[in-house]
Structures are given as structure tokens and as C-alpha cells.
Amino acid sequence: MGIGLAAPALILGAPGPAASAEITLRTLAAARGFRIGASVSSSALEKDSGYQDKLKYEFNSVTPENAMKWANLEATRGQETWGKADAIVDLATQNNQMVRGHTLVWHKSLPTWVTDGTLSTDELRDALKQHIQKTVKRYAGRVAVWDVVNEALNDDGTLRQSIWLQRLGSGYIADAFRWAREADPSAKLYINDFDAEWATPKRDGLYKLVRDLRAQGVPIDGVGFQTHTLIKDPIPAALPLTQLQDTLKLFAGLGVDVAVTELDIRVKLPSDADKLAAQAETYRRAAAACVGVSRCVSLTVWGFTDKYSWVDSGVPGWGDADLLDRSLQKKPAYAKVQSVLADRDFAGTVTALHSGQCLTMPADGRRLVQSSCTNGQDQKFTFQRVATKIYTITSGGKCLTVDGASTAAGAAVSGRACVAGKPEQQFELRPVGEVGAQDYRLMPTHSYKSVAVKGGSTANWAPVEQAQYLSSTTPPTQVWRLSGVPRQP
């Protein structure tokens, strides 16, 4: 049943284009409802204002690189040092950035008093539980995601012979997740590992582990793929990360979120233009793999500038692994990630919210109409991005067009041959309602009026026109539901 007309809405002058913002990675990611993150060096944050600025403006998610590891929080039993971790969380909160806590259970970066063998098995178990719950409770409501268990597997897919497996048994993984859930029921809990980005025994082992734990009711919300990668020297014909998207899809099929959590791509030093180009292409692959999977919710780079990269000391002879160089300038890899985040093409149906009928492209290219939804090809549209929030809308090789480039209310909207750059064939998708909804106005950029069904009709085959912009969306006669929007454009 159609929605009856309410009292006349206030008619305003045509609104101009949405205000543009600086096209940082954060700007583009936010437009997608996506998280682009970076690990944070506490020392760099304290001494380098340029580093802090880049962190704030380029990323909407942060991960403490070392500040939350147990050895740095409680080197001496009972003497807690939260200052560096607090500083990162406080800064993120001030800048509306999500925090990814890293990491609660790991076989490295442990206090000596945990590893020296003086604790009994019961004492060790209790110490681990207290560490997890103390840390998670401290940041409850401010740390949205936790890497609960980190690097639990060997390369062959078996459980790593860590202090936790040797002393507490395989149940320590399930216990850790349950303890973290008790401490903050709202936080998302991840298992995180490396070298599982392609078809390896480790990937198989990780898949079975997550599957089995979830079958037991263990609260695992997500799987993180570290994605530390290298460009071999000489540069190979086939660059890495060709299977990453398939891997992300595979794990998403278990009903969990997935994320790229520690991305960096190192090259053999000295670097050169060819190596940096190969690196850039590999960064592009990683970003494209993640945004191409609906349940891949974030991509985090492990250090965003070569100036403070762990690779220099961690992998001698290799380096230049990050998006920015040592002067905090953008490298080719930055531009590639930026281009992926900016790519907003999608396809789907377009439904008139007031009538529940679908926008339909007549085969002969005449005026568009609304008609009963049939899932036919004439009701499937492709949205191709030409600028931030601006798209051409096509079906059957024809572009939605305001006839004659008219700026008048009542002008017909038809299907015409596509001509690049014509503003009467370009539409701003202006969201209506809450972030994450699928409801939009379609606003021709030459007029900034609204695409609507003529007269607000609910009838089958009612024609579509360019209508005077109404400030109200009640009734929703100028609102369209787009089925294929990948989060927010």
C-alpha cells in the first residue's frame, strides 16, 4: 500500500554540492563506513608533532604497537605502568578514532616473572586471567576491538608450543576469549596471526581452530590477518597477496568479521622506483582484497612512516615498508591505497521508498518509470563514481539523464547515450537518515533538484522526473533505497 501525502513540506532553494573535505585516507574510509588504521609508536607520538598530525588526519583507527603488551604494562608483578597506553587511548578518543587493543595473550613480550618458572600452573592461569580482565576492564567502552590471542599457530597449522600451551593446555585460547568477554561484553574479540593469507597449512589450521571454537560457543568475533609482506629481489613477475581476498571470504563464511591488522610491505635496500612501484601494487591488492569483502571491516598498516618502522631493526637489509617516507611524504603506495578507498562503483536495484516499486529503464530509452520489482535486467543499475559522492547511473548501456539538461521541475528523466562529463548525467548520492542506511536522494549536479516519481504517485508505471527539492523526507517521495551500496559512498 502506498503512503498517503502529508501536509505540504517547506520548499527550499536548490542546495549546492556537499562541502568537500580534504581527501585523506581517513576521509575516504569514513565515507565507506570503513576503518583505516595504523599502529602507534609511543616514542614517536611523544616527540614528533608531524607524526601525530599524520596519525590524526589519515587514520580513523589506531593500534598501540607495543604499549599494551604485558611486559610494558607490568614488568614487575603488581607494579602497573599504564601511562603510554593511556596516552594513546586518550588521544584516539579526542580525535574520534577507534582503538584496537594489542595484544592480550602472546608468547612474546612477557614479564620475566611470568616466564621464569616461579609460578605454579594455577598461579600462571590466574595471572593470565587477571592480566586480561584488568586490561580489558580498564579500557571498556574505549577500546572497541581486542587482539585477544596472537600468533597461536605454527607454520604447519598446529598449536604453537608456547608457555601457554605447555603450562595451561590448549584450553587457554577458549579461556582467554571468555575472560575478555566477561570483562567487556561490548568489545569485538579477535584471534590474530601471520602467514595465513594464502593457502597454507597454517591457514587450514587457523580455519579449523576458529570453526571448532565457535562451535563450542567461544566468543570469537573476528580473525585478523597480519599481512607482513615482502617484495623479493629481483622483483618477481608474480607479486604477492593474490589469494588474500579468497582467504578473507573463506573466514567470513564462518560468520566472523575479518581484518587486515598489521600490513607492511618491505623491500630489499636500497629501494628504487621499480621496487616502490611493486610495493605500491601489492598495497593496492591488500586494500582491494579487504574492501571487496563485506565482512572485512578494517585495514591497519603496521607503522605508517619509514621514519619509525620496526623493519629497520627487525629485518636488517630490508626497509622502506610503509605508506609515507622518512620525511612523512606520500609514497606511491599511499596513492594506490587512496585510489582503492576512493573507488565507489557498485551495482544494485533502486526502490522508491514511498511506493516500494523499482526504478525501471525502458528498453527503448524513453522516460524512466517505477514498476513492480521483478529482479529483471531493466531494474538493475550500475553506479560509477566520477567524484566524491557523484555518480553516473546506467542500465542496459544507457545513462540516467535529465532531458535537455533542463533545470526546471518536472523535466523528464530518461535513458540516453552516455557522454563523459555531462552534469545532467551525474548525480550526487545524498544520504538520508542514519549513517549506514541505504536510503538516498539522487540529485542531478546541474540543477541540484531531486529525482522523484511524478506527483508522488504510487501507481505502477508512473513516470520519473526531476522535482523541486523538498527539505522534508516525510513522506519519502524523493527518497530511494539502493540495494548495492557498499557501506556509505
Q: How many CB atoms lie within 10 A of CB 176?
A: 25
Choosing from 65, 74, 197, 262, the catalytic residue is 262
φ/ψ of residue 285, rounded to 5: -60, -45
For the question of residue 22 being annotated catalytic, the response is no
One-letter-per-residue 3-state SS of the chain: CCCCCCCCCCECCCCCCCCCCCCCHHHHHHHHCCEEEEEECHHHHHHCHHHHHHHHHHCCEEEECCCCCHHHHCCECCECCCHHHHHHHHHHHHCCCEEEEEEEECCCCCCHHHHCCCCCHHHHHHHHHHHHHHHHHHCCCCCCEEEEEECCECCCCCECCCHHHHHHCCCHHHHHHHHHHHHCCCCEEEEEECCCCCCCHHHHHHHHHHHHHHHCCCCCCEEEECCEEEECCCCCCCCCCCCHHHHHHHHHCCCCEEEEEEEEEEEECCCCHHHHHHHHHHHHHHHHHHHCCCCEEEEEECCCEHHHCCHHHHCCCEECCCCECCCCCECHHHHHHHHHHHCCCEEECEEECCCCCEEECCCCCCECEEECCCCCHHHCEEEEEEECCEEEEEECCEEEEEHHHCCCCCCEEEEEECCCCCHHHCEEEEECCCCCCCEEEEEECCCCCEEEEHHHCCCCCCEEEEECCECCCCCCCCCEEECCCCCCC
For the question of residue 151 being annotated catalytic, the response is yes
Cα–Cα distance measured from residue 386 to residue 375, given in angstroms and rounded to the nearest whole number: 26
Cα–Cα distance measured from residue 236 to residue 287, given in angstroms and rounded to the nearest whole number: 20
The answer to whether 407 and 388 have CB atoms below 8 angstroms apart is no
φ/ψ of residue 437, rounded to 5: -75, 170
The answer to whether 360 and 371 have CB atoms below 8 angstroms apart is yes
Choosing from 65, 74, 151, 424, the catalytic residue is 151
Beta bridge partners, 417, equal 398
**Active-site amino acid positions:** 151, 262
